[in-house]
Structures are given as C-alpha cells and as structure tokens.
Amino acid sequence: MIWPQARGSVMSFSFRIVRVSVLSGVAIVAIMAGCAEVRKLTYSEDFTYVENREVKSLMRKMEKGVNRLEKLLSTTSDNGNALQQSILSELGDLEKTTARLSAGHTQTNQLFISDHIEQFITDLGTARMFAKATPPDYSRVEDIVSNCQECHRSR
C-alpha cells in the first residue's frame, strides 16, 4: 500500500515541476515581448533601441577591424596596390559596422556612442578618401587607429 502512494506523490511532484517550468517560460516570453511593446510606446518614432549585447558584438567586430588596420599599417609591403586594397576593404567593413551601430543616424539608448558616432563616420570617410589617393596617404587611417586605442584605453 505504501508503494502506490509514494508513486503518486512522485508523479504529482513531477507534474508540478513541469507545470511551474512551463508557466515560468511563458511568463518570461510575455515579459520580453512586453518590453518591446513598452519601448514602442515610451520612445519616439525616430528613436532606435540598441540592445547592449548587440553593441558589444559590433564593438568587438570594430576592434578586430581596427587591429587589422594597425597590423596592415605596420607591414612593409612590396605590393603597394594590395596594401591599399586591404586597407580600403577594412575601412569599408568598419563603415558597414558603424552604420549598424549608429542605427541609421537616429537617436539611440547608447548615449556615448550617439554623441560621437557622426564624427567617427566622417573620419572613416576622410580616411577612405585619403587612402584612395595616388599615392595613398594613410595618415587619417593612423589617426583612426590611434584615436580608437586612446579612447578605449581609458575604459
């Protein structure tokens, strides 16, 4: 007689765990969906909410690009055209990542980035223009590398 009661309580305990897990999952999904809806109501239409994990991912991608630029600038290549194309390619990748980070130049919740992104976009365009010149001038690319390193050294 003891065995069926113990078995029933184990089954009801397992059912409770499953029920609580499912309800918790539903609640978490509802809260997450609710946050997105609340943002639509509390922020203006020209405001873009950028998730912190997305910002960190994009910043890591930019860091890798800046590091590659630094490495390219420190190489002595016999093929100046290949070096120029590699630098232009890296600048293009940085521009694409910056465009995603700037959220199309709208206001974002990333205040520090919002304050400085326009100048960075301008600096990238200027560096690209100087790097395309004949002969190429990489001084603006060097400025980007050093400015990024200097700013992030203090963080």
- Of 42, 59, 74, the residue at which a domain comes to its end is 42
Residues 137 and 89 placed together within one structural domain of the fold: yes
Residues 1 and 74 placed together within one structural domain of the fold: no
Whose CA is closest to 92, among 116, 111, 68?
68
Residues 72 and 126 placed together within one structural domain of the fold: yes
Residues 89 and 119 placed together within one structural domain of the fold: yes
| DSSP designation for 77 | -
Residues 55 and 114 placed together within one structural domain of the fold: yes
Residues 24 and 58 placed together within one structural domain of the fold: no
48: left (phi over 0), alpha (psi -120 to 50) or beta: beta
Residues 61 and 120 placed together within one structural domain of the fold: yes
Query: Domain of 127?
Result: 49-153
C-alpha distances in Å from residue 72, one per residue of 24, 83, 96: 51, 7, 19
What is the chain's pLDDT, residue by residue, as a tens digit (155 residues)? 455 555 555 556 566 777 777 777 766 765 665 565 555 556 666 666 667 788 888 889 999 999 999 999 998 766 788 999 999 999 999 999 988 877 665 555 566 676 778 888 999 999 999 999 999 999 999 999 998 888 777 65
**Domain total for the chain?**
2
